[in-house]
Amino acid sequence: MTEEQARAIALALVQAAPIAIVGSIGLRGDPQIKALIKARHEGLKTFWFSTNTSSEHVALFREDPRAWIYFAEGNGGPWRGVALSGRMELLQDRALREQSWEEGCERHCPEGVNRAQLYRAPLHC
């Protein structure tokens, strides 16, 4: 398989996945794993995630922005996954939060868009 073919498969996997498994470094240096809603992405290089500002991982990424993101699929076919790494940026811009707000976000952020936290993760793959 060529690198171009591998990237195309990885991109298709990322496009189909609404949820990403995101790893961070805990406050005591231990690994922390969370599932985050993928708000949008730009190819395989930049991902946007939305969560509640009171979430524990907001504090973790403020302390240490290193992030590892994993997308996987395996229902009814071969198991495939793609792992990426980078640094999370916590964005405070209300207009950006509003752009990422979708129906159903209130399940995870009942206080509304004002309490939503948006991450941007420029990654290396």
Q: What is the pLDDT along the chain (125 residues), one digit of tens a residue?
A: 899 998 899 999 999 888 899 999 988 899 999 888 887 788 888 888 776 666 777 788 888 999 999 998 877 777 888 999 988 887 766 676 666 666 666 665 666 655 555 555 555 44
Supply the Cα-derived Rg of the chain in whole angstroms.
15
The pTM score is 0.74
Q: What angle do CA 59, 108, 47 make, to 5 degrees?
A: 65
Dist CA 117 CA 86 (whole Å): 18
Is the distance from CB of 60 to CB of 13 less than 8 angstroms? no
3-124 is classed CATH 2.30.110.10? yes
* Predicted pLDDT of residue 125: 43
CA distances from 11 to 34, 97, 101 (A): 21, 24, 23
Per-residue tokens: 3: 């690198």
